[in-house]
Amino acid sequence: MTRILAYRFSAFGDVAMTVPVFREFLEQNPDVEIIMVSRSNFEALFADIPNVIFKGVNLDDYKGFFGLNRLANELIKEFHPNLIANLHDVIRTKILDKIYSTKGFKVFKINKGKEEKEHLTDIWNLNKIQLKRTVERYADVFREMGFQVTLSHELRPAKFNKAGIGFAPFAQHKGKMLPLEKSYELAKILSLKNTVYFFGGGKAEAEILEKWEKEIPNTRNLAGKLNLTEELDTIAKLELMISMDSANMHLASLVGTRCVSVWGQTHPYAGFLGFGQSEEDVVQVKDLTCRPCSVFGDKECFRGDWACLEELNIQKIVEKI
């Protein structure tokens, strides 16, 4: 049994994208085991994958070089890995790579395609092309190790009757998020024919969605009421999820639920469309030459009018349903 120690500490959506890759890689390579080291609150993402051992860590306990050195030693002692997979490639994981290399381990790391993403998001670049998908970049790490892995890019729907529409109107950054008044109108339209379940995180989002639930019949706010396992179970039972380019799209992918995704500053070309989700279900303002101007949706609007979100007609979303 080959044991791979893999690490990716954040962001939530990016960690979620490793899950379908692990699942298909391990099905095709049953004599491999992955130790996934990440933040403790991500554990439920990996719960149903055989041959994955999840190791949750609190990074505040391992600060600086000496802290990371201690973490590396603890992981070696506990798991005795054969190979190391850096699926994050940030300063912290680069330090871990160095420590493992000096201890004689073979380390393989993701190529995030930083330069090509910078070129893609240059607003003066008018020749936008699809870049490699992030899930394929994860799979490449295992291919470099010498393993065969072919990703299906297909959803695996849960085997029970699905009902209701999930709606996650929030995202971490403004550049990824429909204006709330548009999301409110959309929820009103959707609720005429379907039960709509609201998803969100944090107190402020929960309060907004609580208000919407009171004002819009046939809606239910789930923000702040479910743990991650319960959230995944609920999304698995939905007929459809509507999400911004954010973590909820990736959660829908994990449990085989179709997702209509809304994109503003960001674009599926950067490689972050949910695993198995269809490009037909992407909603975006297509004729803006400045898009995408950001990989993560965290930039100020170059034009100053947020046209990529303000001009997006919610009827386009309704038509996908």
Task: For residue 94, give the CATH number of its domain.
Answer: 3.40.50.2000
pLDDT of residue 137: 98
Q: Are residues 200 and 310 in the same domain?
A: yes
DSSP three-state, residue 268: helix
Sheet holding 196-198, edge to edge: 219-221, 196-198, 165-168, 240-244, 259-262, 282-283
Q: Are residues 138 and 230 in the same domain?
A: no
Q: How much of the chain is helix, strand and coil, in % rounded to 5?
A: 40, 15, 45
Q: Are residues 205 and 92 in the same domain?
A: no
For residue 155, tell me if it sits in a domain: no
The rounded distance, in Å, linking the Cα atoms of 173 and 15 is: 18
For residue 278, tell me if it sits in a domain: yes
116, 145, 174 - which closes a domain: 145
Q: What is the reported pTM?
A: 0.95
What's the structural domain count of the chain? 2
pLDDT of residue 97: 97
**Token pair listed for 194:** 């379907």
| Structural domain boundaries enclosing 97 | 2-145
The rounded distance, in Å, linking the Cα atoms of 253 and 251 is: 5
Q: Are residues 250 and 105 in the same domain?
A: no
- C-alpha dist (Å) from residue 190 to 165, 285, 319, 320: 8, 21, 11, 12
145, 179, 200 - which closes a domain: 145
The rounded distance, in Å, linking the Cα atoms of 97 and 105 is: 9
145, 179, 194 - which closes a domain: 145
The rounded distance, in Å, linking the Cα atoms of 163 and 237 is: 6
Q: Are residues 24 and 117 in the same domain?
A: yes
Q: Are residues 22 and 115 in the same domain?
A: yes
Question: Residues 278, 284: contact at Cβ < 8 Å?
Answer: no
For residue 151, tell me if it sits in a domain: no
Task: Name the one residue in this structure whose structure tokens are 């996934």.
Answer: 36
From first to last of the 321 residues of the chain, give the pLDDT tens digit: 999 999 999 889 999 999 999 999 999 999 999 999 999 999 999 998 999 999 999 999 999 999 999 999 999 999 999 999 999 999 999 999 999 999 999 999 999 999 999 999 999 998 999 999 999 999 999 999 999 999 999 999 988 889 999 999 999 999 999 999 999 999 999 999 999 999 998 899 999 999 999 999 999 999 999 999 999 999 999 999 999 999 999 999 999 999 999 999 999 999 999 999 999 999 999 989 999 999 999 999 999 999 999 999 999 999 999
Q: Where are the alpha helices (DSSP H) in the chain?
A: 12-28, 64-79, 91-102, 114-120, 134-144, 180-190, 203-215, 228-236, 247-254, 307-310, 314-320
For residue 159, tell me if it sits in a domain: no
Q: Are residues 206 and 96 in the same domain?
A: no
Q: Are residues 200 and 77 in the same domain?
A: no
pLDDT of residue 232: 96
For residue 160, tell me if it sits in a domain: no
Q: Are residues 92 and 58 in the same domain?
A: yes
Longest dimension (CA), the chain: 62
pLDDT of residue 32: 98
Q: Are residues 139 and 200 in the same domain?
A: no
Q: Are residues 170 and 307 in the same domain?
A: yes
For residue 158, tell me if it sits in a domain: no
For residue 259, tell me if it sits in a domain: yes
For residue 107, tell me if it sits in a domain: yes
Q: Are residues 9 and 140 in the same domain?
A: yes
